[in-house]
Amino acid sequence: MLSQPPLWLVIVAFVCAIGPLVFFHELGHYLAARVLGVGAEVFSIGFGTEITGWTDKRGTRWKVGWLPLGGYVRFVGDDERAGQGESGALPENAFAGRPVWQRFLIVLAGPAANFVLAILIFAGFFAAFGMPSTPPLVTGIQPGSAAATAGLRIGDRVQSIDGEATESFEDVRRIVAIRPGADVTIRIERNGQSELVRTRLGSQMEKDSFGQQFQTGLLGVYALGQEMRPVPVLRLIPEATKYTYTLTATTIVGLKQMIGGERSFDDAGGPVKIAQIAGQQALLGPLHFVQLLALLSINLGFINLLPVPVLDGGHLLFYTVEAVRRRPMSIQAQEWAFRGGLALLLALLLFTTVNDLGSFGVWERLGRLIG
């Protein structure tokens, strides 16, 4: 078992993980705005007091803030009232004066950039190492397992689990892992015939390389080794896109499980947990760290698409309403919505931070000191 990374590595790894992801996200907004002729006043990585920065020939201030927990691009006319000149008219390159479809695309470009980054990372991995593609053939069954109860046999080919196609054994592992104790329907191919079986998945506690425990689903089937399939150059982006879509779908399933009470909210991690994981993956090596960047990029893109005011998804929701109503929501309604969204995000940040500290045993040790 590996020891936990030192604090300095955790901090450095966290900054090196969040910084590029935020930069790429905001770069998506910025480039879309440039294409559509919208001016940018500030491009900031991090919040708070500026540490360093410069102003380009277009008048955009590029800067780095001291708090590396996000970033933003402030466009000309982001605030309708602040963007107006003495005549009361918006500048020609103002964001607020653009048609709703242009504003929608500029906002959407941020999360889209995070998915593009993940696709590029996975495409690079597939080009260098090949794509995991072990056939979903059952070569071994654990006695007394969910597979044994369902009547699976050696030689069966798993075609789908709960309607989700399993093109490889890696798909079987992924689908089962996030459904501990769940009742599932499995479609198998046996002797050229397709059959449906039902079973309840098992559940087990596993430990990672750093001794951290997590619960995972268990079907109880095995495959011989792992096959890495070479990917032709022209198939790299399509395969990487498909893989990114699959991981995004898995994230959605996990969120639904938490909302539905099937999975504990203890599994939700905040900045502290992300920092710890970043430090651990950096300790394991650059390949593990880059893989983490791809996963975090997917999560950042997905979270920003949630229809919560303050997030990009909240803006997209407002623009959709504006397109349907043919007029924007009132300034007062938007302000109240953003206040509610900000309160929700702050509450979530507080919850996940308390949760993270609890997973590290902070509250238990504090209780012993007080007691």
Q: Is the distance from CB of 286 to CB of 104 less than 8 angstroms?
A: no
Is 26 among the residues known to form the active site?
Answer: yes
Name beta bridge partners: 205.
Answer: 215
The CA distance from 242 to 159, in Å, is 18
Check residue 153 and report its DSSP letter: -
70's enclosing H/E stretch is: strand 61-75
Instruction: Collect all residues with Cβ–Cβ distance below 8 Å to 62 and sequence separation of at least 6.
Output: 43, 44, 53, 54, 55, 56
Closest to 105 in 3D by CA, of 266, 315, 296, 366: 315
Look up residue 246 and give its two tokens: 């699959």
Q: Is the distance from CB of 67 to CB of 47 less than 8 angstroms?
A: yes
The single residue of 26, 86, 206, 227 carrying the catalytic annotation is 26
In the sheet with 164-165, reading across from the earlier edge strand, the strands are 164-165, 157-161, 183-190, 193-200
Residues serving a catalytic function are 26
